[in-house]
Chains A and B, each alone.
Chain A
Amino acid sequence: MADNILEIKDLYTQYETDEDTVYAVNGLSLELEKGKTLGLVGETGAGKTTTCLSILRLLPPKIGFVKKGSIMFDGIDILKLSEEKMRGIRGSDISMIFQDPMSALNPVYTVGQQIAEVLHYHNSKYKTNDEIQARVDEMLELVGIPASRKSEFPHQFSGGMKQRVVIAMALACDPKLLLADEPTTALDVTIQAQVLKMMNDLKEHLSTAMILVTHDLGIVAETCDFVAVMYAGSVIEKGTVEDIFTKGVHHPYTKGLFDSIPNLKVKTRRLNPIDGLMPDPANLPKGCPFNPRCPHCMDICRQEIPADIEKDGHMIKCHLYKEEDL
């Protein structure tokens, strides 16, 4: 395919605890073109964060394991790299920003120091102190914070500004791929709008590819080029953002998601939730994991995991469809 910065094939990640084995990611495959944004959509327990941690190889030691699969980053299988080489990639080639900006920043260091630290350890381009400081200023201005504030501490910033600092830190080394795990969920809606607008502007400016993990389809519509919908550890539908939002054919879960969102425009009293709950990842049902909740469940759904049905880049993992239907 086109110039892909990331290609994940058939990824299986598990958490092994004393009591259970949690099958967090089950046969996940994803691609992302250079410079594009992929929205990774799903609810709690779908495996989105685990996927990001697997890419960065930051799974909790002794508990989280990648069991199978390959993750090709810019042509290299990063699952096979040594830890030392991986550390060279983290922060400089692949960066991650987390959901809670309050706890992502160290309260005893100034904002400028924290951005400088990233540059100090993770890049080779800015070597002298002056170069590093100049880059710190540049990053702060880029995210809309006056460079004069670089000697302030995190507690002097509001939630939205803290998240901008975190974004500045993540982008400081000009990474090729940015993993953003629900970066605006903890923010107020007007601040979220500001931060999303800033991220959109940055996208045009830099050539960073981004995986945006979110449960909010509205954010996906606004910021993403591609979408992948996750359920119980695998991608059950993916495509361009037009495929997901305008085409009529969808995985029943995707349709259920859209139906259960309270819609500003439509006037109804009752909502249409999806019946039931996401399955326990330690205890997945046989066959298609969505089968207990699916309004179109057939016998085969309870027996076999569906194959990927694909056409022109739009993929649906469901027994209902054949290629012609897409």
Chain B
Amino acid sequence: MAEYMKAIEEAAEPKRRSQIGAIWFRFRKNKLALMGLIIFVTLGLVALTAPLYLDFEKDVIEQTISQRFKGPSAEHFFGTDQFGRDIFKRIIWGARTSMFVGMGIVAVSMTGGIIFGSLAGYYDGSVLDNVLMRLCDMFLAIPGTLLAIALVSVSGNNIPNLILALGVSTMPKMARLVRASVLSIKNQEYIEAARSCGTSDRRIIISEILPNAIGPIIVEATLSVARGIISIASMSFIGLGIQPPNPEWGAMLSEAKVQMINHPYLVVAPGIAIVLTVMSLTLIGDGLRDALDPKMKN
């Protein structure tokens, strides 16, 4: 069959990028998205390495009443709180909590969302699809935070429960998204091709459909982390989330709220921390969405 080799040109190979490479290239060009990524990665690294330079007992929890309500200074970048604790160090430690919880929430909602969503989407129109989607509707009808509060009151206020509660409350949104993605891919010809080779449904979903549906899922996941951080902050704000003395940005805001008139600087640090983290995640999510959009391809 050498004749067919003739049909192949010997021209120099054009610059070839893998799909991931192309996506990264497009992402990089979005200055805002890149900035968001840098900020988030920096925050993440700071949070991750915190135990290396901070001692939990001494820096974060220990109360030094003589130092209370000191404004921002060289020694305490953001000042001290009502117990004399260095706010900056508490913010850093709080980042660990927020990030951990945020990622945990997304892990839960993605796992459930992908499983239920892909089953519902692949067997769309069936009883399974209807049951799953009606369950989702049920959860969607209840405001997320309220649902989480209810779940936590029943099962106890600790971090795993919080993660589970908030994760479950955001699962329906992910499930719907996955279902929509799966539906749109299901009718592509390569799925039919897979079926014509005798591929099992399970393998089709995992190996053929999901890798192609992953784009919108990742974007949603990124934004979910942001929402998760806000959720946990909200819950801590009203006293139901992370319990003192563990630092958490929402809780710190809540404490600062009380002292705001006399010591306004207390609000600044946790506020900025939340805004910065959420904003950087949102920028990353938007950037990813644009970079993954096939229509943006030239």
Contacts and interface: CB of A to CB of B under 8 A. Distances in A.
Mutual binders A and B: yes
Interface in B1-43: 6-12, 14-15, 17, 25-26, 29
Given A18-B29, A19-B25, A277 B12 contact: no
B7 A275 contact: yes
Contacts of B12: 283
B298 interface: yes
Interface string A53-78: 00000000001000000000000000
Contact of B9 (A17, A19, A273, A277): A277
Contacts of A63: 298
A292 B7 CA distance: 11
Interface residues of B, number: 14
A280 B14 contact: yes
Given A18-B29, A275-B6, A283 B298 contact: no
Interface in A247-293: 273, 275-277, 279-280, 282-283, 285, 292-293
Contact of B11 (A15, A20, A275, A292): A292
Contacts of A15: 298
Nearest to A293: B9
Contacts of B298: 15, 17-20, 63
User: Majority SS of interface residues in chain B?
Assistant: loop
Interface string A165-209: 000000000000000000000000000000000000000000000
Contact of B7 (A276, A280, A282, A285): A276
B29 A282 contact: no
Contacts of A17: 298
Contact of A285 (B11, B26, B29): B11
A282 B14 contact: yes
B216 to A, nearest CB: 23
Contacts of B6: 275-276
Contacts of A277: 7, 9
A190 B25 CA distance: 47
A276 B25 contact: no
Interface string B137-173: 0000000000000000000000000000000000000
Interface in A1-28: 15, 17-20
Nearest to A284: B11
A18 B6 CA distance: 33
B248 to A, nearest CB: 42
Contacts of A19: 15, 17, 25, 298
Interface in A108-146: none
Contact of A283 (B7, B14, B26, B29): B14
A292 to B, nearest CB: 6
Contacts of A20: 15, 298
Nearest to A22: B298
B206 to A, nearest CB: 32
Given A15-B298, A18-B29, A63-B298, A276 B9 contact: yes
A293 B279 CA distance: 54
Nearest to B8: A276
Question: Can you list the 9 inter-chain pairs with the closest CB atoms, starting with the nearest?
Answer: A17-B298, A276-B9, A283-B14, A275-B6, A275-B7, A280-B14, A292-B9, A277-B9, A276-B7
Given A15-B298, A18-B26, 13 more contacts: A18-B25, A19-B17, A273-B7, A275-B6, A276-B8, A276-B9, A279-B9, A282-B14, A283-B11, A283-B12, A285-B11, A292-B11, A293-B9
5 contacts: A17-B298, A273-B7, A276-B7, A282-B14, A292-B10
